[in-house]
Structure formats: structure tokens, C-alpha cells
Structure 1
Amino acid sequence: MSTLGIASIQLAGGKDNNIDLLETEFRSIAKRFPWVDMMVCGELAVHGASPKNAEPAGGPTEQRFRNIARETGKWLIPGSQFEARGDRIFNTSLVIDPQGEIVARYDKMFPFLPYEKDIASGVDPVVFDIPGAGRIGIAICYDMWFPEAMRTLAGMGAEVIILPTMTNTIDRDVELAIARANAAVNQCYFIDVNVAGEQGNGRSVFYGPGGELLHECGTEREVSAFEIDFEQVRRARERGWHGLGQVLKSFRDAPARFPLHESSEARQRAMSGLGELRMPDRQTVSQSDQADENSGK
């Protein structure tokens, strides 16, 4: 088997407490599209964007999702939810197999700072295998703005990157371009599932390994079922998309070093001049503006 049927749910729920609605959607998909192997929804779709709704690992929401995966016999990536561990809270995506077992637990590496404050950063990229099909990487929303994170997943063998998202801001159009670029430069499928309704502005997008658009959703509730073919990824990486660039091989074989990326300390030293990461306000004056003021401009 080189194909995988995926159904994305662009949920149009309320700001929180959407678990009953989402369970209904999962059951409906399993009945309507029996050929689908995996079901995915957007970031924080279940309990919303408030850390006050965090649950511990193994909590009641996790158990309900495990039961749904077991009941439907489908792989499940139920977006993400805030997970409490000790005195820290993570934004966590679960990967649940058709037997209801947790096969991966991914913590968002790049919380959307300064807005997603008080959320701890994950440190470990995550990939997992669909037996007999291929390898999938998981990331969350703002993670895709960091090409190093996406390239790492591809370097770990990910042939598909699945990205639960919660976006309700004017930069959604920019995100579509970033999603397409991530598909093309990593020669993989890129599945970016946003939320709608009170939580987000929709426009989930799905790109193929050449950056080709497979589908873009509208702004309301939408269920999209489609097949991906791992052999297309392997062919693109072997021969280049339509016989063009073999991007990952060139990256692998290039003698170039990237000192900025060798350690977090190296990044922090090189980019220290950017200043503090903080919430903008009306009183914030950029360094360039301050320099102009000091020089009398």
C-alpha cells in the first residue's frame, strides 16, 4: 500500500467545549468515507485557546479520542490541546492508531509568542510510520514559519507533514504561501488544517510534493477527503518534480555549513540585536526609529 486516505475536518465550532461535535464529525466521516485511513482536525479545536482548559496526559479528552479511534478503526490526529505537566503547559498533538494506542505525542516547538504566552516550548521533532505506507511528520501552526523545523522533519524521512492550525488573523494568506513553499522545498505533501466558526478563518490547504495545490477549503465548516500517494513523494525526491530540482539530495550533498543553526547559543549570539520578544503596544518605538530620533531625522 502506497496510498493513504485522509479526511480533514475544518471544524466550525464554538470557542471551546467542542468534543461532542468533533466526535459526531469523526463518526460521520467513518461512515461516509470507509476508505479513509486517517482523520485530522485543527489546532486547539476541542477546548479552545485558553490554557485554563489544560488536562494532564491520559485525561478524559485523550481517553475519549482513543475510544473513537478504536471504534472507527481509523488513525486519529485530533488537532491539539493544552496538556498540563507539573507546573508547565504544552500545546500537544496526539497521534492515535486504529487500536486506540498513542503512537506519538508532539509538543509545539514554537508557541505563537508573544500571544500564546505561558505555554512551554517542545524540543523534539516527531515523525511516525504508517505500516506498509510511509512516514509522517507532525507540527502545529506557527511551527511552519520556521523552515529549519520543517526541513528537520523531511530529513527524518517525513513524506507528509500534517499541521493542525488555529488562525483567525489577516496573515492567513501569507500562511498559504508558506505551506506551499514547505511542500515544494521539502518535496512532501503538506496538510495544513485550520479551524473555522468562532475559532478561525478556515482556508485549510493541501499541497503535493511539487508545491501543487490539491485543494483549498472555504471559510466555513468543510470536510475534505482525499488520497495521498507516497510513491509520488519518492519519485519527486528521486527524479525531481517533473524532472527538475532534487532539492533534498542537493541539501544533503552540499559542503556548506550553517554556523547560525549549530546551536541555540549560536543563534542567540548572532541575533541578539533584535531585542526582546514582547507584545507590541502604541508606545513601542523600533530601534531604527529611535536611531532616527537620536540623529535628529
Structure 2
Amino acid sequence: MSSLGIAALQLAADKSDNLELVERETRAIAKRFPWVDLVVVGELAVHGASLDKAEPAGGETEVRLKALAAETGLWLVPGSLYERRDGAIYNTTPVINPAGEMVARYDKMFPFLPYEAGVAAGRDPVVFDIPGIGRVGVAICYDMWFPEVIRTLVGLGAEVILLPTMTNTIDRDVELAIARSNAAINQCIFVDVNLAGDLGVGRSAIYGPGGDVIYEAGAGREVIALDLDLSTVARMRERGWNGLGQVLKSFRDSEVEFPLHADVKARRASMPGLGALEMPHRQGGDAAPRSTVDQGGGRKPRLKILD
């Protein structure tokens, strides 16, 4: 049996300046759960969502995170950071091994546009091997809404997907449905770790390769330490969940071609009427809607109906 000891840290983070919190919580994991191999934290946990906090690759934060991994002897996936490289800013997840070495950088392929304006899109999928345990893939938050991202990681051999997330909006229910679906349709273990506190609504979740619920967190700070049996991934890919669908085999063996995926031009030509990817505005324009007085003495907006 191949097992992965993982600790997903749902941190009660402030809006920024959480590096010491990440260091403190990681050290506590190493002391309390010596069987844990890997620690993963939510998206942008360290510095928050401001592009002003972007650092160059190899900057001060990266140096401290590498030292933290070496000190604790843990694989460390510390959420993500805004990172400056080659004149652009990327939302980057570092992958640091127990020797304190940077083994990979994953740049978010689908920045949350139009809200995450100014962030360049990554192009390269990232998987990494933990010797004697298995292969892990990395994506970030909004990436999971695009099934091609997760399917590509699985095609590269990932048995576990780590998804650092920062969600503080009402769509968390939908995200959990997507995370669970990704686990089932890709027959992998899916680890979606959100933030709590000022940066997120919590509700991190880990789903098994049959879409089964391994754990779902509440809204506040939680330390989710789990011993994941990776042999279940191979078994369910071979036999199906409870002997049912062998999804990856069917996808592998299919002779169906998907024109939408032929190339970028084909994809864009198939969706000509969507309009620009831009920030939504009020239907009545930029100005605030006028108000009128209702019969109860309160103020009620007058809505403009658009033809």
C-alpha cells in the first residue's frame, strides 16, 4: 500500500502578511503529526490578493519558505504567490521538497478574469513525484472550472490533485460540486483547500477517486491531517468505483475526436457570440439607480427595464 500523509491547512488568515502564520502552523504540523509528508495551504495565503505584494522569483518569501521546508523535513505547497518574471506577474504555486529545494513552479492557467486583472496566464501543467509514494498534480482555484486542466494532469500520471483556493464568495457550493466531479471523472484524489478568516469562507474538501467524500471542513480554521491510501486510485481506475464506470479507460479507448480541442483557433471560432471578457456593470449603466419611497416609508429602487 502506498500512502500519502497530507495536512491541508485551512488558515484563519488576515488580508495580507500571513507568512509568520504559515510558518507557525507548518512547524506545529511537523511536531504534532510526524507521519505527515506534505503540507498544502490555500491560494495567496501568504500575502493576500494585492499585486503590490508581488515578488521576483527567488525573493525573500521564497527563501523563507524553502528554509521552512528544510527545517521541518516536509514537502511544502504553500498556497500561491504573485510572482514577477519576465515583465509579467503570475499567480504561482511553489513546490518545495524536504531538502528545501524548489522542484516546480506552477503558474495559474486561468486567472479569475476579469477580477484578477493584470495576472498573466501560465501555460505549463505541473506534476511532481514524491519518491516511494506517488505522483501529484497542481492547479489553482479557478483552474478546476476547466476540465481540460485536470484531465491533462491525470494524463501526465497524477494520482492526487492539489488545488489551493481562495474563495470568499457565494459560489463555494458550486465549487465543491465541481471538485467532487473532477475527482470522479478523473478517478483521482482531489484536495481543494480554501482559506478562512478575512480571505475565504473555508469549507475545504477532499474527495476520493469515486467522487466519495473523504472530508469536508467547516467555515473556520481547521487542520485537516489525513493518511491517504493511493492504492485506491489504481484500484478504482482498474475496476471502477464499486465495480462501476472505468472512466479513464473509456476515454483512452474512444475514437471520438473533439474539434473544439483541435487548436486555439478552432476553440475561438466555435464561440463567436460571447462578447468581451470584462467586468459586469449595473444594467442601468454606471450611475446608481434612482430611488422612490414605498408605502411603508422605506426607499425602494426604481428599476430600468432594458429592451
Q: What TM-score, normalized by structure 2, do the two folds share? A: 0.92
1:210-241 Cα distance to aligned partner (Å, 9 max, x none)? 01001111111110100111110000001111
1:289 matched residue in structure 2: none
- 2:13 & 2:141 partners in 1: Cα distance? 18
- How many Å apart are 1:284 and its aligned residue? 7.5
**Structure 2 counterpart SS, 1:282:** coil
Q: Which amino acid aligns with 1:119?
A: V
CA distance, structure 2, for counterparts of residue 196 and residue 147 of structure 1: 26
Match of 1:229 in 2: 229
Partner of 1:269: 269
Higher helix fraction (1 or 2):
1
**Superposed, which structure 2 residues align to 1:1-297 within 5 Å?**
2-283=2-283, 293=307
Deviation at 1:160, TM superposition (A): 0.4
- Count residues with an aligned counterpart: 287
Distance 2:284 2:145 in 1: 24
Q: Following TM superposition, by how much is the alpha carbon of 1:86 offset from its aligned partner in structure 2, in angstroms?
A: 3.0
> How far apart, CA to CA, are the structure 1 residues paired with 2:110 and 2:85?
18
> Separation in 2 of the partners of 1:184 and 1:259?
24
Q: Which amino acid aligns with 1:227?
A: D
Gaps of 5+ in 1: 286-291
Match of 1:111, SS? coil
Deviations 1:70-108 (A, max 9, x none): 000010000000000132100000110000011111000
* Moved >6 Å (runs of 4+): none
RMSD: 1.2
2:195 match: secondary structure: coil
CA positional deviation for 1:262 = 1.4
Larger Rg: 2
Q: What secondary structure, in the 3-state scheme, does the structure 2 residue paired with 1:272 have?
A: coil
Q: CA deviation at 1:273?
A: 1.3
Deviation of residue 110 (structure 1)?
A: 0.2
> Using the alignment, how far apart are the partners of 2:61 and 2:150 within structure 1?
28
Q: Deviations over 1:157-186 (max 9, x none)?
A: 110000000000000010000000000000
Q: SS in structure 2 opposite 1:71?
A: helix
CA distance in 2, matches of 1:64, 1:272: 47
Superposition TM-score, scaled by structure 1 size: 0.95
What residue in structure 1 maps to residue 291 of structure 2? none
1:216 and 1:136 mapped to 2: Cα distance? 20
**Partner Cα distance (2:229, 2:213) in 1:** 15
Report Cα offsets for 1:101-160 as digits up to 9, x if no partner.
Answer: 111110000000000001000011111111111111000000000011111111111100
Question: Quick one: distance in 2 between partners of 1:15 and 1:101?
Answer: 28
For 2:156 and 2:15, the matched residues in 1 are separated by: 35
Q: Whole-Å Cα distance in 1 between the matches of residues 130 and 45 of structure 2?
A: 24
Distance 1:284 1:182, change over 3 A: farther
Distance 1:186 1:256 in 2: 18
User: What secondary structure, in the 3-state scheme, does the structure 2 residue paired with 1:251 have?
Assistant: helix
Amino acid at match of 2:52: K
